[in-house]
Amino acid sequence: MVRDKLHYRGLATLRAAVMLLTVYAVSAEGVAEQVSLTVDADWLKQNLADKNVVVVDTRDREMYLAGHVSGAVNIPVELTFSPREPKDRVANITHIQKLFGDAGIDNHSQVVLYDHGEYINAGRVFWVLEVYGHKYVKLLNGGFKGWVNKQYPISSEQTVVKPRQFIATIQPQHLATRLHTLLAIDDDSKFILDARPEDEYTGKFSQSARAGHIPSAINIPWDRNLHDVDGVPTIKSIEELKQVYKDIDPAKKTITYCNKGKQSSFSYFILRQLGHDVSHYDGSWFEWGNDAKLPIEK
């Protein structure tokens, strides 16, 4: 690969200085245990009446009102992004506490997220909840499309809920910044995962000013996490996903990124389910590819 000659003066000094200020939070055990972070439509149907279960439709309001899982509340993924510049980043703690609290979620709620079946909206909201310290959150495998295929109950009425108090506590180990990612380039104890399509990784196409990828990043497109089951995009089994990510050492920290943080949030979710130590670079390629001071590869 040809490294873009965009090395800026003082890069080594900057890295050294940031190294002194930046520490990744890593569990004492090193690698987390694998845990089930999904539920299927059958489980959800059986638990819809549980007042502690809050089902969240992460699609836009128009799609939600056209039909949603009966009893689901609507938190469009766009509402989790900052209303202020830069608007492609996660919203602040005050915004998030109100957003989820108004949806009837407190710190003990079992949250189940879904979108239409692409998982990138639901995956992004999953990451946001983890960054802000919520411990009980899962994705609906099969999404809304799988629910409809089962002919399970849907509604076109907005679900009215009583607001609850959601107290957020920031978990920095799940959030990577530009500086975290810059330091990871030459760190053998870190992996950088580019979740974009291959054409964007190789530089044939870019949604930012520059084309290519972050140096040392490996490419595993987000849609490799899925396969078709009876016409429904479904998350692959744990064993299948282990093969997809066989080149990533679960004992090492992984940073995921894409363009604006939705596709790579789903990849973050998958690595969490596999027990990896993982964080998500919120700025992603939209920040990196538009900053001429940062190195890239093609």
Which of 90, 65, 67 lies closest to 77 in space, CA to CA? Answer: 90
Beta partners for 39?
Answer: 140
Contact 31, 275 (CB under 8 A): yes
Burial class (CB in 10 A: 0-12, 13-18, 19+), 256: buried
Q: Report d(CA 48, CA 114) in Å as an integer.
A: 14
258 in active site? yes
175: helix, strand or coil? strand
Q: Report d(CA 152, CA 22) in Å as an integer.
A: 48
The CA-to-CA distance between both ends of the chain, in Å, stands at 6
The active-site residue out of 41, 53, 258, 271 is 258
279: helix, strand or coil? strand
DSSP string, 61-108: HHHHHH-EETT-EE--GGGGB-SSSSTTSBPPHHHHHHHHHHTT--TT
Q: Which residues are catalytic?
A: 258
